Structure 1
């Protein structure tokens, strides 16, 4: 007999470093620092992780996690979503979307100061020296802006070699 129902996603365990990275990103999108994100912030956060879902799927995930039906989820609820739906696929588009998630005005670039905060305070944190070295690639003309499409292409080319 054939089962027409979709299989439930496999639950994934994350290590401490991954959890810490997720928490750093969560805090970045938790603008008022109350430990909660709304649907819009959640959607942007998932896109920052390079996750590709239809808006309807994201809405379903968020609604399922929002047990209190408050329109907000906390970090623990966010991790539960990731445990079931996070995918480790990596593409140039994923990398580009990670940068775009921080480009709130869709300008195609990030301000150096904002980029520095992201690179030094979240995820795999850079030191001041590492940031200065990285900026030679990220902003070769020293304009104070990071044109992230060119940067994403350079990083992706390096990573797949």
Structure 2
């Protein structure tokens, strides 16, 4: 009960009501837990579309009693984490939009230097090139050097990989 209360306190009343209702609808046998298949249905009803592997991973993340299913407390914990992940994704997307001054969907050396300068960080062209090359390399793009720094552009996916630490060695 304490676990439900501490998790529930971190959700708005609307979120809590929505998640409890979704849980209740998909707990078809009313045993107080939902299976992996039921969790997939819940997630889709909430506008998310995880793969089967992602659903298994979600269950493993919160399944405190290791029974292979998710009870209400575990479900609320999962929803709290996924909401936080969505917020982080939106924050990264908004940061990218701020950096992408010409709104072409890519960050250039010039744009990166401008934003860093506005943040009080003076970055040389060489440093900006290195930062963008790192972003590309971390997302499976080509690293190395470029003949003209104006040719170097980083996509949102490459920026997100750098910002979240994905694909880091």
Q: TM-score category by the smaller chain?
A: 0.3 to 0.5
- Larger radius of gyration between Structure 1 and Structure 2: 2
TM-score (norm 2): 0.42
TM-score (norm 1): 0.44
